[in-house]
Structure 1
């Protein structure tokens, strides 16, 4: 029988049996694993309780993150929420579990929240609950809330599309699959193996287009017709439709165009736009122009009538990751940590009218409207967050967090979708503006 071991356990949990004897300082340290709720040592040489405050009332350096010294409830009773449960997508909605605003709070015994997700909360094992210094929520702000998570992809989600009039959401990933999700239940309704990494996805009318290595796949979601568009060299990173043409930005720097032939029910090659010296990673159409952003750090402006390049924009100093048309402006973001707003000068050429800087490189831009029809810009950064800004003021509305960088954002009717590097797709619901409060009577 391990009498010494039993004694150690008693000394660890109970009072000092001899009041006149100085305590053993080796046993006055709180067990780190016990705080996290997973100590498996028996007997453990460290304390399984919080230390009392020193007699002079000064805070103890042993006290974890402002936790009350007399709070000795079992670990499970103090543990924060462990991830959000799946709510019914499209039915009721509400805020959902795990998406409380978690505003920064200061005061006695409550720590000010840091701008970072608690990794233990993500794993469902944070023992500090509301007094944790880190966020226990997937978003901050009051303008949107998470409805549910769609899990199944094994690698980064590189494309999301919701065809008009369809009750199915389509997501593509570098795990070489396209997943089909039922918009009512949020359940996966099918998995399509496409034989290559998905670089991008869009939908136009009944057609859905998927960019693959050396190929663009086209599906008619109404007739189930499937076509293969050959011609690209390397990965297809970007797709857009404009002036009855389908454009594809490719790894070799070219932009290929196809035109749909109704008589033959196929897409026929129409043009090849050359000029970029590196991969074309983003495309957008607006004001009878095609705008292309590239790894060569430039944006090219193409006339949609004659498909000629009319201007090259070189103000970014790193890869141009996303371009977006908003009203009479062009917005672009780059790994150089800036968002640039472009407008036409008297000469007709685009010039930078405003530059917004971030602390991290930017990956994606998505523009949409909130429930009050106010324009909102969602900006994905490579610190695993998405910022929501009012336009044109760039006042921050809220922030979304993810386990890894968010590569895909897609807007829908009163909802939007994000896909991150872990393969998770989150469904978000716009909420009524709660920032303005009614004055008391």
Structure 2
């Protein structure tokens, strides 16, 4: 939306603003969830708002889809929460920061700008940028893959980034120079990839490849039927979600330096495309529209969630909650109810199908949700309010999101491009 300076000034004066100190006022329209000004001269946050620590400790550095190990010693995660603040601003918990603005600008990248010949400049109503919002910036673009980037992994403490693609290659990038330092031809499409300790695990058709980055050990884990779409580690087991609907598990035998088959979890009727672990539960999302909850001790299914009406593309643990997104255009937040079973606490609806979730914390330790959609964009939301921080755009669908250290995150899209983003530091609020 084009900004009308005069109109904004009149609204500003009607709300009793001072032209010398506008940032001491909270936007009335933002409180009502209706502000469409960008930028807005008023604060989109409540004051005072002291920094809040991450719930139950700091975020997990192991995998991008887990915010933290909430109640790691409690086998009932996600558990019942005393208050439900989903979907509305709440001071101190996802209610916003200095960069929290409801973005309403024309969210389409200018086709002439892409070709380098837009003559309208700043007056163009379309974006001359790959993002909308001022809370993050594009640092670099990594080119090399010829097809969709389906997986990104960055081992903790490593200076290497690993990307996998449906072009059947794994690329290794130097994080200092941004240069590709290795290409491995795998002979099959990469369906997923994770890092755990020194290990890199890659899901391929009918096999899981495992590399130890310290010893250069190369292992092949057989057993999957069809494409391996999801991998996760929990309770010293490696789990793989496969095309035939089963979840296979392996355990590493240090005595003989190999992964031995441990179990096969049956129940889903179509492919398992997403996995996440919370405390001693494994959660699996499937093309059969369901989420299954598995006890990691017994490896038995203890609940089946059927509220989604299309493929469950991604699952994630945050605080007390399980989050899930689907091609049915919804994100659902699940919490343990009075019965002891998971129930939907909140449903957020989008205009497009949802592909993958990622979670990170901003510089005020407030949680952010990254959610890619099949309109070639990523939404960035504060939790639990779902107030929009901004959007990231791409030429094709973004199928992979990976969180790195220090506010860095990565996206991989259908063109084969990997982009490196940096979350901006949030400016301290002016005293009231």
Question: Which is worse superposed, 151-160 or 133-142?
Answer: 133-142
Question: 1:354 aligns to what?
Answer: 346
Is 2:231 aligned against 1:239? yes
Question: 1:122 aligns to what?
Answer: 114
Distance of 1:196 and 1:104 partners within structure 2: 47
Aligned 8 A contact 1:104 1:113 in 2 = no
Is 2:421 aligned against 1:428? yes
Cα separation, partners in 2 of 1:104 and 1:433, compared to 1, 3 Å: closer
Displacement of 1:115 = 1.3
Question: 1:254 aligns to what?
Answer: 246
Is 2:315 aligned against 1:344? no
Aligned 8 A contact 2:237 2:249 in 1 = yes
Distance of 2:263 and 2:429 partners within structure 1: 55
Displacement of 1:327 = 1.0
Is 2:263 aligned against 1:263? no
Distance of 2:347 and 2:357 partners within structure 1: 14
Instruction: Give TM-score scaled by structure 1 length.
Output: 0.73
Cα separation, partners in 2 of 1:340 and 1:279, compared to 1, 3 Å: same
Displacement of 1:328 = 1.4
Aligned 8 A contact 2:107 2:132 in 1 = no
Aligned 8 A contact 1:142 1:433 in 2 = no
Q: Find 1:309's aligned residue among 285, 301, 306.
A: 301
Note the residue ranges of structure 2 that are not aligned, 5 or more in a row. 3-36, 41-103
Distance of 2:110 and 2:186 partners within structure 1: 36
Distance of 1:128 and 1:219 partners within structure 2: 51
Question: 2:66 aligns to what?
Answer: none
Is 2:194 aligned against 1:202? yes
Larger RCO of the pair (alpha carbons < 8 Å, separation 6+): 2
Distance of 2:394 and 2:348 partners within structure 1: 23
Question: 1:324 aligns to what?
Answer: 316
SS of residue in 1 equivalent to 2:122:
helix
Question: 1:286 aligns to what?
Answer: 278
Question: 1:368 aligns to what?
Answer: 360
Q: Find 1:158's aligned residue among 147, 150, 163.
A: 150
Distance of 2:417 and 2:238 partners within structure 1: 29
Instruction: Give TM-score scaled by structure 2 length.
Output: 0.75
Displacement of 1:214 = 0.3
Displacement of 1:154 = 0.4
Distance of 2:328 and 2:250 partners within structure 1: 33
Displacement of 1:374 = 1.2
Note the residue ranges of structure 1 that are not aligned, 5 or more in a row. 1-64, 66-101, 106-111
Q: Find 2:412's aligned residue among 410, 419, 422.
A: 419
Displacement of 1:126 = 1.7
Distance of 1:238 and 1:126 partners within structure 2: 42
Aligned 8 A contact 1:113 1:132 in 2 = no
1:399-428 deviations in whole A, cap 9, x for unaligned?
111111100000011200000000000001
Displacement of 1:372 = 2.0
Distance of 1:285 and 1:439 partners within structure 2: 41
Question: 2:220 aligns to what?
Answer: 228
Distance of 1:244 and 1:212 partners within structure 2: 22
Is 2:141 aligned against 1:146? no
Displacement of 1:123 = 2.2
Distance of 1:335 and 1:145 partners within structure 2: 28
Displacement of 1:124 = 1.6
Question: 1:137 aligns to what?
Answer: 129
Distance of 2:192 and 2:148 partners within structure 1: 11
For 1:13-162, list aligned pairs within 5 A.
114-162=106-154
Question: Which is worse superposed, 126-135 or 237-246?
Answer: 126-135
Displacement of 1:103 = 5.3
**Residue correspondences, number:** 334
Cα separation, partners in 2 of 1:121 and 1:439, compared to 1, 3 Å: farther
